[in-house]
Structure 1
């Protein structure tokens, strides 16, 4: 039996591949996939399904895959219902509150906040005791305060370069984000040995990277 793994394609995929290889998984077919979306490892141990991040949780919840590899931002925003087993410590970035240089957070009045993450944004402002209007944006969130659509934005950033290039400034730091390994709860009962074997292999790799000091910190 092959464990079915939904892997977020793109940046997460490329960052996770070295971890999988270091864990002894032959990823040659995954690297040479071309436009294929379903790739089996040569020994048949795993089947990788490449998907967009939000779809990974959909596949997990539907029981279509055993494991998902996806960012914690998506897990939080979509109220993850499955078993989060391992922080892979890659894809690290941070949620920030950002706006133009004339933004005054303490100025009276209800602020309008643009974001791709309305749930995370709502929770943040609720903790602050602030009532805000949230506008869901799917594209370039950075545009919102520049064109007057919103007073500020809540978004994730890795280096802060996009914010700086658009003359936006960070006013507060929210939660850190990283890539997580999540298992479907039913699969975890049925294939516990295989799933925890993979977790142990990847955990060893992640710990080695931590010990070598290969970790980032808060975005500046």
Structure 2
């Protein structure tokens, strides 16, 4: 499957916000957003142009899509599923994005970024309810138990990532036992639980797909 393999920081600069694609670097002074570097490939005159309504909606979709490292087809499949669910489509979309197993692995601090979490899932290092899951798009459910496979608990990357738990904890809808490298989904996330997306206006994405 095709995927973006270019510089991750370039995507953050394009969206003028942190997408948290490079783990600890995103919270360090080295982050290009902290340095207020301009968008890639744009001169001063281009940056001054006013965006159309369509352009604003498109940028919001690109921001969310890039944050979760999804391609357009993957993102649209989730949006269509969110639209069929009861409730507000935009909030349903956030819940589905957060429920992906690669995101859960990232939220539980088994990985320092979503791209690293996806790699762990692809390589069979993660189990859900005692069974290996190798599909990053797998959607977890309430009360699911997510853990690192026994043979993978010695991996240095996972041990280093878990150190973040003592500094920031986990999301309120998750619980984690860092010693056993095991977590549990207490409930599916609500929109208000995902503070990282406070600046995301998901209703603009709904408007974009409704055109």
When normalised by structure 1's length, the TM-score is 0.28
Which structure has the bigger radius of gyration?
Answer: 1
Relative contact order, higher structure (CA 8 A, sep 6+): 1
**The structure with more helix, counted as a fraction of residues:** 2
